Amino acid sequence: MDVAPAAPADLPALVITGASGFLGRHLIAALRDRYRIFALARRDPHAVGIPDHPNLTWFQVDVGDEEPLAAVFRQLGEVEGEKLVIHLAAHYDFTGEPHPEYLRTNVKGLRNVLELCRSLRPLRFVFASSVAACAFPPRGGALTEDSPADGDHLYAVTKRRGEAMLREFERDFPSAIVRMAALFSDWCEYPPLYFFLRTWLSRAWNWRVLGGRGQSAIPYLHVRDAVEFYVRLLEIHGRLEPGEVLIASTEGCTSHYQTFEAAQLASRGHRVRPILTPRPLARLGLWIIDQAGQFMPVRPFERTWMGKYIDRRLTVDPVRTRHRTGWSPNPRHSILRRMPFLIENMRTDPLEWHRRNLAALKTVRLEPNLSLFQLLASHHAEILEASMTHFLDHESGTLLPTYRGLGSDELRWAKQQLFLHLRNAVRTTDKGIFRAYCRELARRRFAQGFTCQEVHLAFSSERDIILRILKDDPRALPLTGAIHDYLEGTFLVGLDEIEDAFEELSGARLSYDGD
């Protein structure tokens, strides 16, 4: 879907890939009044809570799909003025398994964007890398902007290849590399921390258990500070050297022991001492959990590969970045200072807490219904247009005559409402959401003079269009069971609800007419 409002031409142009992601959404909210933003993302903006804005043009495209991406860049080439590019699009997960998206998105997708930027010639190409692209420093050492990208994790390897790839294009446009710390918000939204908190604040047998001496440590950065970093970077990009490496992070790192204590203090009101386990025993425990998890419906977060990082510290020293940019994170936003806010949000709005954190997980780790929810969102525009075409087609009009009388705008609105309630039912696995919507819709349509047969046929057509579109997407193959249970099953109860409502309303009308 392309949303192309008329943005003021005097504003600078900013292209953001991965715009529907965690950082991308926050950047758009912060920058949309200062830039003409051209956002590229797999997902529909409304599906991730990004409202329309006169300075925002949205392209629903996958950076791994070369031809559709090239078509988008041809449109970007027609945009007046010089442009800046922030490349955020990336795949990561914590399974430790070689998911094909690492290569497709992080390597091939980056190359596609870089090749197309040869003709776009941006003023600066900003590549979002990670401190995780670097190997852990030796005991007592710290990562700096000069540290090589030599990490050996799957994600690190793709970021290392990305950083090296930028050098191939240094004659075409200047770039900058931003190695970011682990991003979090007051709702958490950082998967490892989410799983840690879920265990530490539960009644599980291992709620007090920490691996090794509890000194496994990484740097955290609040998303507000990350946004401020990019705002500042865009302001001073002209002063940077070509290919300069910057570190967006707090100084040092924060250990599991520290976050455990902070979480317990915020939750229980007093400190709780964790149970520390020798590293060999902790690694054995991870192996046992990982092996047993292969036979569970949903595999646990803990994986064998995590054992090698027990008691290792990813300490950073970003002093040069501070000097070069004039930016530094707000001390009030440190992970330990924000822990009470995280715990308060988890307590007062647990549904939103889990919704946000499940959304932060990649599809490979999602429950089947949530994978289907994301798949439906990715096809929102295609489904809507196919449905509109079908309902306005002359041949269909003979079967759905009253729908043709609604008018194009009302018909489109009605379809968006249906799709919204369907996706919510899939996301929550609560078919009652869709049943209630169908009952209310049946009452509305009855009052407008629709027949039950016509509404039934319209809903069946919507179902068939959605199933046809999903069938052509290879991502739907492993979701056959979810499609049957959460999509076809939801339509089935919705159709029954429509029939029941029409029967009740017809009976009421007959009784009334006979009095």
Backbone angles phi, psi at 172, to 5 degrees: -90, -35
> How far, in whole angstroms, is CA 425 from its chain's centroid?
19
Rounded (5°) CA angle 318-319-323: 120
pLDDT tens-place string over residues 481-491: 999 999 999 99
pLDDT digits (tens, 9 = 90+) for 463-511: 999 999 999 998 888 889 999 999 999 999 999 999 999 999 887 554 4
Phi-psi region of 503 (alpha: psi -120 to 50; beta: other; left: phi over 0): alpha
List, as one string, the DSSP characters of 121-147.
--SEEEEEEEGGGSPPPPTT--B-TTS
pTM of the model: 0.71
As given in the structure block, the two tokens for residue 218 are: 């990484």
**58-67, pLDDT tens digit by residue?**
998 889 888 8
- The span from the CA of 208 to the CA of 204, in Å, is 9
> Could you tell me if 286 and 304 are in contact, meaning their C-beta atoms sit under 8 angstroms apart?
yes
Distance of CA 393 to the CA centre of its chain: 36
CA distances from 488 to 48, 460, 463 (A): 24, 10, 7
Angstrom distance (rounded) from CA 39 to CA 19: 6
Within 263-396, strands assigned E span: 275-277
Residue ranges of domains in the chain:
370-505
Q: Which residues pair with 41 in a beta bridge?
A: 60
Q: How many residues does the chain have?
A: 515
Digit-coded pLDDT (tens) for 360-418: 875 434 467 777 887 898 899 999 999 888 887 755 555 667 776 777 888 888 888 89
